[in-house]
Every structure is written in C-alpha cells, then in structure tokens.
Amino acid sequence: MNCVRPGISIAMFVVVACASSTICAGQTRPEERVWAGLTLGPTSYDLAGTGTGLIINPGLFWQPIKGIVISPSLPFFHYDAQFERPTSYLFPEVSFITSPFKGPLQPYFGVGAGWAVFLSGTGESDPTLHGLSGLRLRLSRSFSLRCEIKARAVDPFIGTTADVTCGGDIGLVFKHF
C-alpha cells in the first residue's frame, strides 16, 4: 500500500495553493463585473397582427473576455390587437455584444438568438434571431444609462419586432478569493 505522510501532503497542498493563487505573489485578483439592467419602450411588431406595443427588457451583462459581452435577457412583450384577445410573449434570448470604444460614452452592437414563448392571445412559440445597437453612458463605476435598438426575427423570417428601449444598468461586483 502506498501511503503519503501527512507533512508531505500539507506541503504539497501549500505549494499547489500558492502556485494557483495570486495572494502568495502579493497581487490581488481582479473583480468580475456583472451588470444588471432594465430597459423599456415601444416595439413595432408584425406577428399575428401588426402595430406597436410595450416591451420590458430585464437582462444581465457579463464580460468574460476583453471586448465581448454576453447578455442573457428576458423581454416581456404585450400588445392589444384590434379584433382579437390581448397577446403576450416572453423572449428569452442571449446576445453577444461588442463595444469598440472605452470611456463614458460607449456605442455598442451585437447579435443573438432566443425563443418567442407565446403566453396568451393569438400566436405560437418559435425561435428568434436578432441584431442590436445601442449607446451606453457610464455615469459612475456602478451605474449607467443606455438606449438600444433591437430588430428581432420571429420564426426566422415569418414575424418581426423592432424595439426602441431606454433604461439603466447597475454594476454588481464579485471578488475572487
């Protein structure tokens, strides 16, 4: 039977922990920033009917690598059709966003995909594709305002929505230990 002595096990643990940690090197690990945001505004639609409705878009923004932001969101869309029941959808989606500029005023653009989840009224659930562009104004390290335009194809390319939303983002900080 192969046994490792307790002193050697502890020494190996300390060496591995120090090698994988920046604390032993006297450095601090960077903070990981995640932003939670909420935007709302009108959306022009051509689904089971046509017109303009309200979209409310809560989402998260995470930057795993420099220049790329991954943004899952869950927009809620509702409209009142003239001759049919009111209709509601959820659009769970993920966007991949890039912003070529740094500083307080940041234009950005991106693409993504998701699903149109039919909740009520007239319609059905289908996959979606979208493109977006926007402008973010960083007011502080933890707060920003933004406006965004998103064109969404539902059951590509049977139906469409075009969102024009504005709102704010709050920065959440996660420190690595």
Reported as a single tens digit per residue, the pLDDT across 34-54 is: 999 999 999 999 987 788 999
User: Which residues lie below 8 Å from residue 19, measured CB to CB, with a gap of 6+?
Assistant: none
In a domain, 119, yes or no: yes
Higher pLDDT, 177 or 117: 117
With a cut of 50, say whether residue 9 has pLDDT above it: no
CATH code, domain with 146: 2.40.160.20
In a domain, 39, yes or no: yes
In a domain, 18, yes or no: no
In a domain, 16, yes or no: no
In a domain, 95, yes or no: yes
In a domain, 164, yes or no: yes
d(CA 51, CA 95): 25
- As for how many domains the chain has, the answer is 1
In a domain, 15, yes or no: no
Residues of the domain holding 158: 29-175
The pLDDT score that the predictor gives to residue 128 is 96
The alpha carbon dihedral of 11, 12, 17, 18 has a sign of positive
Give tens-digit pLDDT for 89-131: 999 999 999 998 888 999 999 999 999 999 988 778 999 999 9
d(CA 116, CA 77): 10
Give tens-digit pLDDT for 125-149: 999 999 999 999 999 989 999 999 9
The pLDDT score that the predictor gives to residue 31 is 53
The pLDDT score that the predictor gives to residue 174 is 63
The per-residue pLDDT of the chain, averaged, comes to: 83
